[in-house]
Structure 1
Amino acid sequence: MATGIKDRVAILGMGCSKFGERWDMDAPSLMVEAFEEAIADAGIDPSQLEAGWFGHAGNAVGPGAIPLAIALRLHNVPVTRVENACATGTEALRGAAYAVASGACDIAFALGVEKLKDAGYGGLAGGSRGPYYDAVNANVTAPGGFAQLASGYAARHGVDMPDLKRAMAHISVKSHANGVINEKAHLRRRITEAQAIDAPMIAYPLGLFDCCGVSDGAACAIVTTPEIARALGKKDIVTIKALQLAATGGWEAQGEGWDYSYVPTTRAAAARAYKEAGISDPRTELSLTEVHDCFSITELVTMEDLGLSMEGEAVRDVLDGKFDADGQIPCQIDGGLKCFGHPIGATGIRMVYENYLQLLGRAGDRQRQTPVVNALSHNLGGAPFHTICSIAIVGLQT
């Protein structure tokens, strides 16, 4: 029986560009920025890379993975391009990790990039969204879809909307405060709870500050086996404890059995990830999380879907500060999608980058003071009624 890849793959080095409106940089330049940091961190020469996976969801580069090889000057290295909605970055990491775990290569890498500001990408309706949207809901928007998650959650758990709005505001205030001390973050300005609650409405009950934007940026991970990492002189080695994905089969959109109060794919992927990592109680065994806070309600609901809050208790836990930077299980200690930014192809790798830095004690002013043992990252692509969820858990080799 398959047992997963726990501790078979080590992260040799990581890099991340600054996220934001990078008008001064094209996509290849952002790739180089992240790659050079990762190569320096890994302490290897690019000629030692045996395979690469390229995550890109937009159209800022040409077809296939050739733009990656050209940007990084990787001659005759096999490269593969992947896309899996907002889980694209983690999908790229999964390809590189599985190649190492299988013995197909000794050192592989994953790199995700997006140049969304130039493209004018947004979350509102307009343009071609593909046949799935045409068949199900031609006018669906990201804010509209996740606004229904808020309404469904409130209805199921009997939460008064003002209380839910206050909890969502707390999440946004927290992310902005964390982003201020992250030099690579896109948005670096504090906001108040009143500003979040009173902000212009985007899709009820989601206001402006409940919504993340999109960014330009790139992130890179270089992976190998723990044995090779140690032979290359690495002392503290971060290993992958679990990498899991779950995709909807369409059940949520069929009209019965699901009430919009949770995300089934997150629960399925989390259960598999915890089993792979050997985690029986995530509330005590996880030190840190990076979750897909495309909207503040998504972060709140995800806390229950990951088992970090009891059913119906996430509002109270959020308001009690459980997920604040100095809380029991910090979430988005780097600002999250909301403030670090969301270049779709890079986001999943960026999340692992933060957890990697925290595990090695290299996160600077935002370093978690309590020892970090296991750290989780979570991506959610699509709308609540049709999602792809990816979960990665990393930790120090024991």
Structure 2
Amino acid sequence: INTGAIKSEAASSMEMTELQNTESGEIISGNLHILANSTIDNKGLVNVNQLFIDAETLNNQPDARIYADNATLNTSTLNNNAILAARNNVSISTETLFNNKNAEIVSQGNLQIAGVSIGGALTSAHQVINSGGRIEASGDIAINTDELQNLNAGITTQWVTDSIERIIEVQPEGWAHKYDVSRFPLIHNHNVEGQPFTDENGNIIRYFEDYTYYDYTAKTQSTHIISSAPAKIIAAGNIELKGNVLNSDSQIVAGQKLNISGGSLQNSATPGQKRVSYNGTRQFRDWDGNDEELDFGGIAPYSPAPKNTEFNLGVSLFEDSHADIKSLANIQTMTLPVVNSAMFSLVAKPTKFYIETDPQFLDYRDWLSSDYMLQKLAFDPANTMKRLGDGY
């Protein structure tokens, strides 16, 4: 049980049956090999240049951090509930991986997930479940598993009234359809002379005598997303998936090529619902040819069946650089938080960066930040309302 700080600049190793790194525990080293016959339970910080972990089970608990230049993890079960990030590459060999809601596996280089190594060759993992978490690489991602589930950890919609429109229409006796009242000048000013129009059969006529007058409202409602926790698998480079893939209300996006082999793809998305309902009145009328309207039968209610359609909510994406941008049309937008990662924090002080990266991950490296732009523009940060970010 580690409640303090274990630090080493040289290459080192730790071997035990079980390791508990508590909330206050820190393990910081140059090169480190951690070997646990049973479970590693991390609630604190592990920050290593070259990190090797061998354990039956690795639990990375909420608010914990595992950082490394390069991380190589060998486990039977990996439960990630926080941040696991590498400044270069990540290699995970496991039977079962759970990357849970808001958890992150991030690599600044390449990221590989597969099964155990046999004779130097990686086999297929049994199951990788990314439920509302993020798996991201600045390079390529390769996942070799019998079953990959990329799942939304919770999507909620509610009905919203988008518009209410008043509509006045006329349906001449014997015509199959209704038309906007503006098509027929008689209805407005009783002046038929010199203003002919075309009927449904293409005939030019001067007037009609019998018609039904409709006055109603059309209320358009649709389902809007009020909360969503999509899982994300994102690579700036290529994504290579081997095995059966289920992508449900979530995102798998490659900056270059996205390829699936050795299994099937099921890409499912919750559709948005749109409903247009009608409510008003109708009245049969007759014109006697002397610029007077005669009403017959009184006013009757008019409430036809609503029209229901489906549309793309835009939550589920399975795309690479060859995606047709038209496929992203007509999707809803959401208001998202500025920061949704354990690696970043918001700072209120006006002289500080608004978004700061965890200095433990940066390892005090230099990045091209917004200060560079301020200096080039000769702005004084003290007189600038807020600097955006530290450049990571």
Structure with greater proportional helix content:
1
Q: What TM-score comes out, normalization by structure 1 length?
A: 0.19
Higher relative contact order (CA 8 A, sep 6+): 1
- Choose 1 or 2 for highest CA Rg: 2
Structure with greater proportional strand content:
2
